[in-house]
Chain A
Amino acid sequence: MDIIESRTWIEWVITIAKFAFCFVPVLYILLLIPMERRGAGFMQDRQGPNRSYIKIPFFGKIRLLGYVQNMCDGTKLFFKEMFAPAGVNKILYYVAPAIPFAIVFLSPCVIPWFGPMVFEWGGQVVRIPGSIVDSEVGVLLLFGLSSLSAYGAVLAGWASKSKYSFLGALRTSSMTISYEVCLGLSMMGMLLLAGSFNLTDIVNWQEHHVWGIVAQPVAFFCFLIACIAETGRAPFDVAEGEPELVAGYHTEYGAMQFGLFYMGEYSHICINSFLVATLFLGGYSVPFVTTETMQAHMGGSLAVLCGVLAFFALAFLHLIYRYSRKLKATNLTNRFEILREYSLYKIVAWLAVAVFIAGGVCAWLYYDPSKFVVNGFAVGGLATAVGTALIHLLVLIAKSVFFCWVWIWVRWTLPRFRYDHVMHLGWKIILNIALINLVVTAVIAKLVGGN
Chain B
Amino acid sequence: MLALIYFIILGILAVGSALCVLLSRHPLYGALSLVLSMLSLAGIYGLLGSPFIGVVQVMVYAGAIMMLLTFVIMVLNGARDSKTPMFDGVSLFVIPGVIVLAALVGFVLVRTPMAFDETTLRGSVALTSRTLFDVAQTGPGYFILFEILGLLLLSSMAAAVLLAKKRLGSVDSDDKEEK
Contact = CB atoms under 8 A, between A and B. Distances in A.
B58 A144 contact: yes
Contacts of A180: 63-64
B67 A173 contact: yes
B125 A147 contact: no
Interface hub of B51, B67, B74 (most chain A Cβ within 10 A): B67
A174 B68 CA distance: 8
A170 B68 CA distance: 10
Given A137-B125, A143-B59, A150 B52 contact: no
B62 A148 contact: yes
Interface in A126-176: 135-137, 140-141, 143-145, 147-148, 150-151, 154-155, 157-158, 166, 169-170, 173-174, 176
A176 B70 CA distance: 13
Interface in B17-45: 28, 32, 35, 42
Given A148-B62, A151-B35, A170-B75, A136 B124 contact: yes
Main secondary structure of the interface of B (DSSP, over half): helix
A197 interface: yes
B51 A158 contact: no
Contacts of A166: 74
Contacts of B126: 136
B52 A177 contact: no
A154 B75 CA distance: 12
B71 interface: yes
Interface residues of A, number: 25
Contacts of A145: 58
Contacts of B154: none
B28 A141 contact: no
Nearest to A135: B51
B55 interface: yes
Interface residues on B, range: 20 to 34
A154 B51 contact: no
Contacts of B125: 136-137, 197
Main secondary structure of the interface of A (DSSP, over half): helix
Nearest to A198: B125
A166 B75 CA distance: 10
B9 interface: no
B74 A147 contact: no
A135 B124 CA distance: 10
Nearest to B70: A154
Contacts of B75: 170
A170 B70 CA distance: 10
A148 B63 contact: yes
A174 B71 contact: yes
A176 B66 CA distance: 13
Contacts of B71: 154, 170, 173-174, 177
Nearest to A3: B2
Interface hub of A137, A145, A151, A197 (most chain B Cβ within 10 A): A137
Interface string B59-92: 1001110011011001100000000000000000
B64 A147 contact: yes
Given A154-B74, A158-B74, A197-B125, A147 B55 contact: no
Nearest to A174: B71
Given A137-B125, A147-B63, A148-B58, A177 B35 contact: no
A64 B35 CA distance: 46
B56 interface: yes
A117 to B, nearest CB: 23
Nearest to A142: B55
Interface of A: 135-137, 140-141, 143-145, 147-148, 150-151, 154-155, 157-158, 166, 169-170, 173-174, 176-177, 180, 197
21 contacts: A135-B51, A136-B51, A136-B52, A136-B124, A140-B56, A141-B58, A144-B42, A144-B58, A144-B63, A145-B58, A147-B58, A151-B67, A154-B74, A158-B28, A170-B75, A173-B70, A173-B71, A174-B71, A176-B67, A177-B64, A180-B64
Q: Which 4 A-B pairs have the closest CB atoms?
A: A147-B63, A144-B58, A144-B59, A140-B55
